[in-house]
Structure 1
Amino acid sequence: MARRTWYRLDNIGKFYSSQAGRSSQTVFRYSAELADGIDPDILQHALDHAIAQFPSFNVHLLNGTFWHYLEQSDGRPLVEPEHLPICSRLHYGPKSMLFRVSYFRNRVNLEVSHIISDGRGAINLFKSLLHAYIAERYDVPGVPSDYDGSDSDKAENSFDKYYEKDKAGAAPGTKIYRLAGPIDRAAPTFMEYHVSASKVLGAAHQCGVSLTSYLIAAILCAIRDVMPSRARNRAIRVDIPVDLRAFFRSETVRNFYGMTYVAYTPAEIEADEDSAKTSATSPDAAGDGQQSAARTAHGNGMGGLLTDEPLADIARHVQEQLGHATSRERVESHMNRMIALEKNPVLRLAPSPAKDWVLELARFIADRETTTTVSNLGRVTLDERLARHVRSVSFLTTPASLNFTVCSFGDDLSIGISTIYHDLNVIKNLCRILAAQGISGRMNIAGVHVEKGASA
């Protein structure tokens, strides 16, 4: 019998493979709401087509002496009615498939383990799935695929290809604010907040910033309003995944991203009494009224009033930071620093169980050095002959703490929110901030603690 194709794990895949077999695994999920109910038979045909186009997703994770590795599966992935919690674990053992396709009413879902791909890579599989399904379901022939990479491009380990040891920079250090309160990693809460993309973009342009900078600023304000006074000397750090395909010539559908960040330490500015009162009571204060009022006080020692920095000013700070944070030099430095750990000679000679322990520890430390993460997938596009049958697209991920995932389809902007915290005040604050700018929307919520609260 011919030997099956096998793949080395990429740098990010090695980190996430240390979660293999555990109850908590990092999974991300795409969903699309279509015009009509899902036909399971046609969806199965579409999945067969998509996997034929992207076979590197149909793999098993196996244990090697020094590293885990991926082996091509000869099994046929099957679609299934949705019956598991969102982003449920995918790896149970050596025969586990590392992705899942499910459906519910008019919604189709693709869930993918971070072991095998990242958000930008796996969107190609999801778009191929939607393309094949819509083409058959609505008789739309002749639409070409918008992915034109070769088979070797798809499976390329771009981290190895572009690693430069001498460009691995040091990690900066500062005191970071972390959210507090009861958590439940086993039963996170997941939300999708759908708003008008054009309205958010319009509000961002009024501030002279990008949509990403505006949303990050709104999230910073939402977090600022739950911070106790004693913690306001700490920085709110927002980690931001950066697609490395934008900097290097890569069409890989495997993991290939780096991390950067922006940080904001809450600042107070002088205000006259009338504007301070307005700030304390306005919805734009972005939090519970009593919290905003408590922060507006005679505090400069000269009788002047202090109030929180407004959203527009924070958005401009974020925009400026992002310009530096997403430079090729900064992103390359982080990428090479990540790979340097993997290539440490002591770690390379250690058996895989020891590596798993070290990589899990590294991931735990990294998670504690951030407040939240914002991942913007950008615009999801389909040929207009296909797009007319899709209502919305959304994107979610397993939370390390509080995670935001953003994507748009047409004029629908989906803000995905996943959290291990029982307290949802940050999310409530974010909705209030956007509503104060004339941006309201609809919320889909799924979570054990939300459901318990709703039934109480």
Structure 2
Amino acid sequence: MDKANRYKLDNVGKFYSAESTGPWQTVFRFSAEFVDEVNPEVLQKALEHTIERFPGFNVCLRNGAFWHHLEPAASIPQVQPESIPACFRLHTGPNSTLFRVSYFRNRANLEVSHIISDGRGTLGFFRVLVQSYVEEQYGASCASMKHISYDSPQYNEDGFHKHYEPHKAGSTPTRRAYRIRGLRDRNNPTYMEYHLSASEVLEVAHKFDVSITSLMIAAVINAIRATMPSNALKRPIRLTVPVDLRQFFETDTMRNFFGLVTISYMPHHELEPLEEVAQLVQLQLSEAAQPEQLERRMNRMTALEKNPFLHIAPLFLKDWVLNFAARVSARDITSAVSNLGQLTFDECTDGHIKSVNVLTSTNDLNFVICTFGNDLSVGISTIFKNLDIVHEFCRIFSNLGIYGHVNMNKPDGELCETIKET
């Protein structure tokens, strides 16, 4: 393969490629529920049209002497009926493509490896896939992004490398975080969609004088706090929140380009009111999401990659070092919450899409929030067999008078009564 046809991995992609040989890989799953059953032939045409505009997604992971890299796939994958678990690993060999498209009844799913893109970049691919399907299936005409090609260098640049400033790298000392306890089942995670009224959630957020993101993070914190044993209260609950760096730097890249904000909460012996926790979260978010704070962590991550000793190390040693760094970092985190915000599509899709949901694979407990119209969807992923935290999270909103509905990948016999009632 000509080196000109290769794609170098970005900084985050290198970290995630190090896990590619293991049983667990980080995968995003974007789902659109249509008003009619999905037509697989039309979905395949829509995928082919989308790949023409996003060739950087149709790639395979290959091994080099010093780094992994990406090469164009030999062909476009075929859409398949959904038959494997959600967020199942994508890299299974040198010819495996790092995305898949599946369907079940009236739902179409796009799953993408974190090796090639983050949530915001994947959203661009997903938006064009959905709009292309609506055009093909219903004869609509979608005007947005009609003449944009995402094959140009500006959409495939490495934002971390472009904006690397080593003198700004830095770390913040932290206390060891509380780690959720309980039996785990990594081979059979629970995936759950929790749908709420966006307007009702927004009303509560306005009442508390906080953002929806702060309110949802506070609900996660209180749900975790409600299940903590008393002998663990000396440990802070620490959540990571991804922040899109494209809004702070001049880049249109579709590849990974995000920073992580850390929210830390020291639990009290008594459960604090949700409003007070949400206001504390809002304060931390506003301070930690400042560009200079995000740059510290971004440059620290890039500095590790550019370490001269790591740079010349063979690939197997790099993978071990990056995996070890990821495990050490994970010990300081309790859970992760991501909010993709309001998802919009071209007007041509109006009346054809019922709901949208986003999930991610997990090695612990993750929450991914998105809003489509008046539907606020929380994608919950967990490997813990005990669902008490999920139970408490749902109960928080029920107690606020906000009642939702749940889609889940487990049979009724495995659900607690509160989740069933929700």
1:213-362 mapped onto 2 (5 Å cutoff) = 213-267=214-268, 307-362=270-325
Are residue 121 (structure 1) and residue 84 (structure 2) matched? no
In the alignment, the residues of structure 1 paired with residue 76 and residue 19 of structure 2 have an alpha-carbon distance, to the nearest angstrom, of 25
- The question of whether the paired residues in 2 share the 8 Å contact of 1:4 and 1:71 is answered with no
User: 1:75-114 alignment to 2 at 5 Å?
Assistant: 75-114=75-114
The answer to whether the Cα contact below 8 Å between 1:54 and 1:154 also exists between their aligned partners in 2 is: no
CA–CA separation in structure 1 for the residues paired with 2:4 and 2:169: 35
CA deviation string 1:249-298 (max 9, x = no partner)? 11111111111111111225xxxxxxxxxxxxxxxxxxxxxxxxxxxxxx
Cα distance in 1, alignment partners of residues 367 and 177 from structure 2 = 18
Q: CA deviation at 1:73?
A: 1.9
Separation (CA, whole Å) in 2 of partners of 1:134 and 1:104: 17
Equivalent residue, structure 2, for 1:15: 15
Aligned partners of 2:32, 2:245: CA distance in 1, in Å?
Answer: 26
Amino acid of the residue matched to residue 440 of structure 1? Y
Preserved contact between residue 376 and residue 406 of structure 1 (Cα < 8 Å) = yes
Question: Cα gap change, 1:37/1:440 in structure 2, threshold over 3 Å: closer, same or farther?
Answer: same
Residues 18 and 322 in structure 2, CA contact (< 8 A), matched pair in contact too: yes
- After the TM superposition, which residues 21-32 of structure 1 pair with which residues of structure 2 at under 5 Å, given as runs? 21-32=21-32
SS in 2 for 1:418: strand
| Residues 156 and 252, structure 1, Cα contact 8 Å, conserved in 2 | yes
Deviation at 1:225, TM superposition (A): 0.4
AA partner of residue 162 (structure 1): H
What SS does the corresponding residue of 2:259 show, helix, strand or coil? strand
- Residues 149, 251 of structure 1: 8 Å contact kept: no
Deviation at 1:4, TM superposition (A): 6.2
- Rounded to whole Å, the distance in 2 between the matches of 1:142 and 1:149 is 15
> Which whole-Å CA distance do the structure 1 matches of 2:335 and 2:174 have between them?
16
Whole-Å separation in 1 of the counterparts to 2:59 and 2:365: 30
Query: Given that residues 239 and 373 in structure 1 are in contact (C-alpha distance below 8 angstroms), is that contact kept between their aligned partners in structure 2?
Result: yes
From the superposition, tell whether residues 147 and 404 of structure 1 become closer, same or farther in structure 2 (CA, over 3 Å). farther
Separation (CA, whole Å) in 2 of partners of 1:177 and 1:191 = 23
What residue is the counterpart of 1:428 in the other structure? 391
Residue 445 of structure 1: aligned partner: 408
Letter paired with 2:207: Q
Shift of 1:308: 2.6
Q: After the TM superposition, list the runs of 4 or more consecutive aligned residues in structure 1 that deviate by more than 3 angstroms.
A: 1-4, 146-150
1:418 equivalenced with 2:381 (yes/no): yes
AA aligned to 2:259 is G
Specify whether residues 252 and 234 from structure 1 end up closer, same or farther in structure 2 by C-alpha distance, changes over 3 A only.
same
Query: How many residue pairs are counted as aligned between the two chains?
Result: 415
Equivalent position SS for 2:385? coil
Letter of the aligned partner of 2:49 in structure 1? H
Q: 1:454 to 1:326 in 2, by over 3 A?
A: closer
Report the Cα distance in structure 2 between the residues aligned to 1:370 and 1:146, rounded to whole angstroms: 41
Deviation at 1:21, TM superposition (A): 3.2
Shift in alpha-carbon separation, 1:143–1:266, aligned structure 2, 3 A: same
- Contact 1:4 1:72 (8 Å CA) reproduced: no
Q: Mean Cα displacement is larger for which, 68-77 or 256-265?
A: 68-77
Q: Is the 8 A contact 1:24 1:186 kept in 2?
A: no
Aligned partners of 1:147 and 1:245: how far apart in 2?
Answer: 22
Is the CA contact (8 Å cut-off) linking 1:119 and 1:377 kept in structure 2? yes
> Which digits, 9 at most, give the CA deviation of each residue in 1:19-58, with x for residues without a partner?
2232211111000100100001110000000000100001
| 2:75 partner amino acid | G
Partner of 1:47: 47
Residue aligning to 2:144: 144
What one-letter code is carried by the residue in structure 2 that aligns with 1:317? Answer: L
Give the corresponding residue for 2:419. none
Task: Give the alignment partner of residue 370 of structure 1, picking from 333, 344, 356.
Answer: 333
Which deviates more from structure 2 when the two are superposed, residues 321-330 or residues 383-392?
A: 383-392
| TM-score in terms of structure 1 length | 0.88
Measure how far apart 1:103 and its partner are: 0.4
Separation (CA, whole Å) in 1 of partners of 2:350 and 2:88: 28
Equivalent-residue separation in structure 1 for 2:315 and 2:149 (angstroms) = 32
Structure 1 unaligned segments of length 5 or more: list them: 269-306
**Number of the residue aligned with 1:5:** 5
TM-score normalised by the chain length of structure 2: 0.95
Q: CA deviation at 1:385?
A: 2.4
Pairwise CA distance, 1:187: 1.5
Partner SS for 1:267: coil
Question: CA deviation digits over 1:121-151, x for unaligned, max 9?
Answer: 0111111100100011111125232794751
User: SS in structure 1 opposite 2:227?
Assistant: coil
How far 1:413 sits from its partner (Å)?
Answer: 0.6
Say if 1:419 and 1:157 are closer, same or farther in 2 by CA, change over 3 A. same
- 1:387 positional shift: 3.1
Distance 1:337 1:38, change over 3 A: same
Q: How far is 1:171 from its partner? A: 3.1
Q: Which moved more, 1:50-59 or 1:225-234?
A: 225-234
Percent identical pairs in the alignment equals 49
Aligned-partner Cα distance in 1 for 2:211–2:346: 25
**Paired residue type of 1:403:** N
Over residues 213-253 of structure 1, what are the superposed CA-to-partner deviations in whole Å (9 max), with x where a residue is unaligned? Answer: 00111111111000111111211001011111111111111
CA RMSD of aligned residues (A): 1.6
Q: CA deviation at 1:67?
A: 0.3
Kindly indicate whether the alpha-carbon contact (under 8 Å) linking 1:56 and 1:154 is maintained by their aligned counterparts in 2.
no
Q: Give the equivalent residue in structure 2 for 1:399.
A: 362
Quote the Cα distance in structure 2 between the aligned partners of 1:115 and 1:308: 39
